């Protein structure tokens, strides 16, 4: 069997193994997300030579939600550099849920860019001018990571904009401590739009593979971010990407990862693979149940745990 047949076989096998899992619930605090099809389950993997593999619903569209956070963090790091970005948003695991009030005592600086508080600040750091509006730069950046032109699911955007008071409250709270450099309403609106960008599991695997490949999209060959920025983003994903289960995830799966409440999940095996899953049934931490199981199994199958000496 060729290496590529082996990958395809593995994805199909894991898809079959976990497709019957019925635990978890689709997110419903954003009403439009509750309409997701519970049976949808896709897996995708992209290698460093740009080969893409999929199983199940790997082409089914859904919205990025929090999986957008590492990529917008990459954009802010590229625009401003690590020292300036770190003045506004930290890099410490919060040990708290994604929507917690994770703000540093004294400064009001959010704990990290993977929780909502930090992601709103990250989005606010993206330069916003008349010629280059922040959301345009974000959409262009996300599209370059994916290797194709992405768009916004206006229904999901509208649904979150209509119900997103907790995120607005977070933004006002951060602003009250002087730790948000722009208008809270505008920052949160851009953040909602970035969360509503539509992708597939295959797109996510390409995006993760671009980080794993040192910032060069392995499918298009385009350099999207520098090797330094790719490494910085992966480091924060490793310590903070899974919120209050980041430690357990790193212990068991051993890869930088990011989950989102629409059911998307990515993991990056540096210099090896980008992995992605989509399944909208979520656990209590807002992570795809089937996605978690499948990516953990993929990491084990391919010996991807970063702390392991093969
Ligand atoms: N848009 C969602 C929110 O801000 C993203 C959260 C997530 O995916 N964990 O609540």
| pLDDT per position as a tens digit, 24-45 | 999 999 999 999 999 999 999 9
Distance (Å, rounded) from C-alpha 127 to C-alpha 108?
Answer: 21
| Residue to mutate, 65, 69, 112, 117, ligand 1, most ligand atoms under 8 Å from C-beta | 65
Residue 70 and residue 55 share a domain: no
Residue 307 falls within a domain, yes or no?
no
Contact 160 CB / ligand 1 (< 6 Å): yes
Q: Whose CA is nearest to atom 6 of ligand 1?
A: 66
Domain C-terminal end among 149, 178, 195? 195
Residue 87 falls within a domain, yes or no?
yes
**Which CATH number is 50's domain given?**
3.40.710.10
In the numeric block, which tokens belong to residue 267? 């993991």
Residue 116 and residue 79 share a domain: yes
**Is 160 labelled as part of a ligand binding site?**
yes
Q: Are 199 and 264 in contact (CB under 8 A)?
A: yes
Residue 306 falls within a domain, yes or no?
no
Q: How far is the CA of 178 from the centre of ligand 1 (A)?
A: 23
pLDDT tens-place string over residues 256-296: 999 999 999 999 999 999 999 999 999 999 999 999 999 99
Residue 268 and residue 214 share a domain: yes
Q: Whose CA is nearest to atom 2 of ligand 1?
A: 65
Report field, pTM of the whole predicted structure over 0.90: yes
Question: Residue 24 to residues 93, 201, 214, 279, 306: CA-CA distances in angstroms?
Answer: 25, 19, 34, 10, 28
Identify the H or E element spanning 46. strand 42-47
Task: Specify the pLDDT at position 182.
Answer: 86
Distance (Å, rounded) from C-alpha 175 to C-alpha 247?
Answer: 30
3-state SS assignment for residue 6: helix
Whole-number average pLDDT of the chain: 96
Residue 297 and residue 219 share a domain: yes
Task: Specify the pLDDT at position 100.
Answer: 93
Domain C-terminal end among 195, 223, 254? 195
**Is 233 labelled as part of a ligand binding site?**
no
**Is 172 labelled as part of a ligand binding site?**
no
Strands of the chain, DSSP E:
42-47, 52-56, 62-63, 198-199, 257-259, 264-269, 273-278
Residue 222 and residue 116 share a domain: no
Distance (Å, rounded) from C-alpha 220 to C-alpha 251?
Answer: 33
Distance (Å, rounded) from C-alpha 163 to C-alpha 178?
Answer: 25
Residue 176 and residue 280 share a domain: no
Residue 29 and residue 16 share a domain: yes
Angle at CA of residue 224, ends 211 and 130, nearest 5°: 130
Residue 138 and residue 227 share a domain: no
pLDDT tens-place string over residues 94-117: 999 999 998 988 888 999 999 999
pLDDT tens-place string over residues 175-231: 998 888 889 999 999 999 999 999 999 999 999 999 999 999 999 999 999 999 999
Residue 36 and residue 181 share a domain: no
Residue 205 and residue 188 share a domain: no
Domain C-terminal end among 195, 215, 233? 195
> What's the average model confidence in pLDDT over 132-155?
98
Contact 116 CB / ligand 1 (< 6 Å): yes
Residue 109 falls within a domain, yes or no?
yes
Split into its structural domains, the chain has a count of 2
- Residue identified by tokens 């370059």 is 144
Residue 308 falls within a domain, yes or no?
no
Q: Which ligand 1 atom is nearest residue 160's CA? A: 1
Residue 185 and residue 40 share a domain: no
Alpha helices in 46-133 (DSSP H): 68-80, 82-88, 116-125
Residue 85 and residue 186 share a domain: yes
Residue 265 falls within a domain, yes or no?
yes
Q: Is the ipTM of this complex over 0.85?
A: yes
Strands 52-56 and 62-63: unpaired
Task: Specify the pLDDT at position 179.
Answer: 85
Residue 37 falls within a domain, yes or no?
yes
Q: Which domain does 183 fall in, by range?
A: 66-195
**Is 66 labelled as part of a ligand binding site?**
yes
């Amino acid at each position: 069997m060729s290496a590529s047949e082996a990958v395809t076989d593995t994805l199909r096998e894991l898809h079959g193994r976990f497709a019957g899992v019925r635990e978890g619930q689709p997110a419903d605090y954003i009403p439009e997300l509750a309409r997701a099809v519970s049976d949808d389950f896709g897996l995708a993997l992209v290698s460093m030579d740009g080969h893409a593999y999929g199983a199940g619903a790997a082409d089914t569209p859904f919205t990025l939600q929090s999986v957008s956070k590492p990529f917008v963090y990459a954009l802010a790091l590229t625009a401003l550099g690590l020292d300036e970005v770190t003045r506004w948003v930290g890099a410490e695991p919060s040990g708290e849920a994604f929507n917690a009030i994770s703000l540093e005592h004294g400064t009001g600086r959010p704990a990290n860019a993977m929780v909502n508080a930090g992601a709103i600040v990250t989005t606010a750091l993206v330069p916003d001018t008349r010629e280059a509006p922040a959301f345009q730069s974000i959409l262009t950046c996300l599209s370059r990571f994916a290797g194709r032109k992405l768009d916004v699911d206006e229904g999901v955007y509208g649904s979150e904009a209509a119900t997103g008071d907790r995120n607005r409250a977070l933004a006002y709270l951060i602003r009250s401590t002087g730790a948000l450099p722009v208008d809270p309403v505008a920052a949160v609106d851009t953040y909602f739009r970035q969360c509503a960008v539509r992708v597939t599991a295959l797109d996510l695997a390409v995006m993760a593979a671009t980080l794993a490949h040192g910032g060069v999209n392995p499918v298009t060959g385009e350099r999207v971010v520098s090797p330094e920025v790719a490494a910085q983003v992966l480091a924060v994903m490793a310590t903070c990407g899974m919120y209050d289960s980041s430690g357990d995830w790193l212990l068991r799966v051993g890869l930088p990862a990011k989950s989102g409440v629409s059911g998307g999940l990515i993991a990056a095996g540096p210099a090896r693979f980008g992995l992605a899953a989509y399944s909208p049934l979520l656990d209590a931490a807002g992570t795809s149940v089937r996605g978690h199981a499948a990516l953990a199994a993929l990491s084990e199958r391919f010996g991807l745990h970063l702390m392991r000496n093969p």
